[in-house]
Structure 1
Amino acid sequence: MVFLGVFLPSVLLGLCAAQSPFPAAAGRLEEEERSPWLELLLLLRPEVEPECRELLAGFANSSVRLSGCLVRHARPVTVCQNCYRLFREVTEQLENISRAAGNTTESNPCAKSLLMSDRLQIVLIMSNFFNATWKKANCANCLKNNSEGLSNSTVTFLALFNESMACFEHNLQRQEDSRLLGNISDVCKNCNVTYKKLNDMYNSMQKSGKEDESEEEFHLCIDVEDAMNITRRLWSTSFNCSVHYSDTVPMIAVSSFILFLPVVFYLSSFLHSKQKKRILMPSKRFQSNDSSVNIQEKKH
């Protein structure tokens, strides 16, 4: 045992340095004589099978492409519409690694060597990160059931969003100073219909999603939410179009009617009290005249 403890480290050091453990006899060793030591080294430092190495390289390349796509489309957020193909590719690569002919990892050595051979488990960490990011973005709510493309409602919403942005840009070019926009600016007047369609479409998607989902809180995918937030912020804050120009006349009429209600109430109360007072006054005089007549008749 002492001999092996001294001899084995020298063997490994010699092999790592691409030298024979016996320098004096290095020139006389043939390929057949070195093979037992190489087999020992492979047992101590097992290599990944070529098939597993190819699967690992495929997962690595897909992960790089997906990571780059997520970062490139982080602002404004368009990850769901631009990265769903790459996310599906990463998912398929992981399935290829973990797929086994049977129910045990022994039937698939790649799953054991790539997913469970060490404590860190880099492949699983990367896969969990992508899945958590995708779930947090709620990208499934903007895709078809099989995730092969965007849903019809999402395509319609994005088309209305692009139309609204084009309308904003076109009408801003006609403004002399885009910082001095009012409620009756060209943007508010000319883009009112397009903005209303976009807002109605967003509300409809939210309503239909809440009806389909059993969860208490429903969120559309981050692409749709971010696009709607950008549009509303431009419409209300930048352009000051919170009140639609076409709705100002009805709103002023209703507001004037509500403000005039107290005046009508107090005026009617005053007139009613005045009329009641006039009715009560003759009755008192009539009673006093009757009483005086009765007194005079008694005297006579």
Structure 2
Amino acid sequence: MHLSRWISVCVFFFLLTVINGNGSSQRSNMPGHIAMESYLGHSDRLLYVERLWSIKDPIEPAGDISKHCLELLDTFSNATSVYLKCIMCNARPLHYCQNCATEFAYAVNCYSDIARLVENGSRCRDELERADNVQVVTLVYDFIVDVWEKSHCHNCYNATAQNGTTVYNSTEETKEMLEKIQDVQMCFHDFAGKDIENVSVCFLCRELYNKANDYYNMLDKEDKLCSDLVDSMNYTRRMWSKDLHCTVAVHTDLLIYSLSVAISAIPLLFYLGLYLYGRRRVSAVSLSRRDSLRRALKEDADPPARASTSDGI
């Protein structure tokens, strides 16, 4: 009796092991599960499979959000993805203000479409905010705008409204600054390395460098710089000073030379002044002595006046 029970228990566990083995082999053949099998336990694998098959179709309408609103959300999602990729690809060297303005404008305009859409008395943006307590859409929009504003990209563009959308056009100051920086860098490229100490590039590119630096300082005082211009000018200055070993000072050579001449001339002027003052003093003393001697000689030459006598009456 006891032997038959033990045999039944052994057969039951054997069949259970076989069934579990077949189930595991079938799950391991499913696409996307091979990497997960390596670090998920048995119970976690079953939970992962259940969650995988329970994912809803992303284009299926959710809750009370209208179909048109979800379409605008999908457009905004794609626009945001393109903009984030653009700024990441242009982060070094930093040129995303210049190269990602179109992508930024498109993402902002897509969000504006969501904010303007009203269907059946309900605003699309309000529907999205009610459906998500984290408010991911608003957070993403605030992030892309924050990146643009912290980089001061608005300083390099004029924003104009056209047909309900915002269009960004580069300012004339930005175009001129970029042209000046490009001229300097082209000069570096053409003449750098022509001699051992880069004497030629320092001499030939000095005027272009000074003009670019002066114009940059003017825009800085007027608060018309964006991160692109700041990064480009910093790179140009680093090439000028560290790579090419040219003088960092701008328009200071003439001032230095003038000060040197002025300081050197101070002792000369001092001694010249003393010399002229001494000669004038000597001349004044000699003239005074001459006058005294002349008066003395004149007094000696003139006879003393005689007293007059009168006849007696």
2:159 alignment partner in structure 1 = 145
Q: How does 1:122-161 map to 2 (within 5 A)?
A: 122-146=136-160, 147-161=167-181
1:77 to 90, 94, 97: 94
Instruction: Quote how far apart the aligned CAs of 1:127 are.
Output: 0.7
1:97 alignment partner in structure 2 = 114
The size of the alignment, in residue pairs, is 235
1:241 alignment partner in structure 2 = 246
Instruction: Quote how far apart the aligned CAs of 1:252 are.
Output: 6.8
Q: How does 1:31-180 map to 2 (within 5 A)?
A: 46=63, 48-101=65-118, 107-146=121-160, 147-176=167-196, 180=197
**Aligned equivalents of 1:243, 1:48: Cα separation in 2:** 61
Change (3 A) 1:84 1:245: closer
**Aligned equivalents of 2:220, 2:251: Cα separation in 1:** 26
- Residue pair 2:241, 2:247 contacting (<8 A) in 1 also: yes
- Residue pair 2:116, 2:123 contacting (<8 A) in 1 also: no
**Aligned equivalents of 2:262, 2:248: Cα separation in 1:** 18
- Residue pair 1:188, 1:245 contacting (<8 A) in 2 also: no
2:212 to 198, 217, 220: 198
**Aligned equivalents of 1:206, 1:134: Cα separation in 2:** 18
Instruction: Quote how far apart the aligned CAs of 1:223 are.
Output: 1.0
List per-residue Cα deviations over 1:187-217 (Å, max 9, x = no partner).
112222332342344345456xx3xxxxxxx
Instruction: Quote how far apart the aligned CAs of 1:172 are.
Output: 1.9
**Aligned equivalents of 1:245, 1:63: Cα separation in 2:** 43
One-letter code aligned to 2:226: C
Q: What SS does the aligned partner of 1:148 have? A: strand
- Residue pair 1:161, 1:198 contacting (<8 A) in 2 also: yes
1:278 to 273, 282, 285: 282
**Aligned equivalents of 1:143, 1:280: Cα separation in 2:** 75
Task: State, as a whole percentage, how many aligned pairs show the same letter.
Answer: 26
Instruction: Quote how far apart the aligned CAs of 1:61 are.
Output: 1.1
Change (3 A) 1:236 1:92: same
- Residue pair 2:210, 2:250 contacting (<8 A) in 1 also: no
Change (3 A) 1:203 1:253: closer
**Correspondence 1:227 to 2:241:** no
Instruction: Quote how far apart the aligned CAs of 1:175 are.
Output: 3.6
Give the aligned CA root-mean-square deviation in angstroms. 3.7
Q: What SS does the aligned partner of 1:55 have? A: helix
**Ranges in structure 1 where 5+ consecutive residues have no aligned partner:** 1-16, 18-44, 211-217, 295-300
2:270 alignment partner in structure 1 = 266
Instruction: Quote how far apart the aligned CAs of 1:242 are.
Output: 2.7
| TM-score normalised by structure 2 residue count | 0.61
**Aligned equivalents of 1:162, 1:276: Cα separation in 2:** 63
List per-residue Cα deviations over 1:218-270 (Å, max 9, x = no partner).
2411111221222123223432333789985x557524431233113320342
Change (3 A) 1:173 1:138: same
- Residue pair 2:192, 2:244 contacting (<8 A) in 1 also: no
**Aligned equivalents of 1:246, 1:49: Cα separation in 2:** 65
**Ranges in structure 2 where 5+ consecutive residues have no aligned partner:** 1-49, 51-61, 161-166, 300-313
Q: What SS does the aligned partner of 2:68 have? A: helix
